């Protein structure tokens, strides 16, 4: 583990730390990726239903997306594949809509970068 220091005050902070321990309580903190946090089965079903709603919406405007896209998007969020969920669509919430839009923007930016790289 390396250390860096602040040029202004000299405070040293760790770089590349993956585990932290609290000595006074004997507890241990472990760095967790965002996709690994625990959710209830109901929350996961809610997300899956909203992804299916988005799939139906895209189909209705003539730009369909596959079941695989829904599964991969779910996996990006929760870190596991969707299993045995009801496919009944449920209207999008702001949170899920933002997640989808963010994913789409990232994909578009990646494609633009690859296109610019080919032209150069």
Residue 25: the pLDDT is: 55
Across the strands, what pairs with 28?
A: 21
Alpha-helical (H) ranges within 8-93 are: 41-60, 67-78
Handedness of CA 107, 112, 117, 118 (dihedral sign): positive
pTM comes to 0.66
Cβ atoms of 35 and 48 within 8 Å: the answer is no
Give the mean pLDDT of 10-16: 62
Residue 22: the pLDDT is: 44
Higher pLDDT, 17 or 7: 7
What's the farthest any 2 CA atoms get from each other in the chain?
Answer: 60
Over the stretch 14-25, which tens digit does the pLDDT of each residue have? 554 444 444 455
Over the stretch 36-74, which tens digit does the pLDDT of each residue have? 557 889 999 999 999 999 999 999 999 999 999 999 999
Residue 119: the pLDDT is: 76
Give the mean pLDDT of 87-91: 95
Higher pLDDT, 32 or 42: 42
């Amino acid at each position: 583990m390396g250390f860096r220091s602040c040029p202004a005050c000299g405070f040293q902070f760790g770089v590349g730390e993956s585990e932290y321990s609290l000595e006074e309580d004997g507890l241990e903190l472990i760095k967790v990726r965002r996709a690994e946090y625990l959710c209830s089965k109901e929350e996961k079903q809610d997300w899956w239903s909203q992804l299916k709603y988005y799939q139906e919406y895209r189909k209705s405007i003539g730009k369909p997306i596959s079941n695989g896209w829904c599964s991969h998007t779910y996996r990006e969020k929760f870190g596991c594949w969707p299993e045995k969920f009801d496919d009944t669509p449920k209207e999008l919430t702001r949170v899920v809509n933002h997640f989808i839009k963010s994913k789409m923007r990232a994909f578009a930016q990646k494609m633009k970068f690859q296109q610019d790289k080919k032209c150069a």
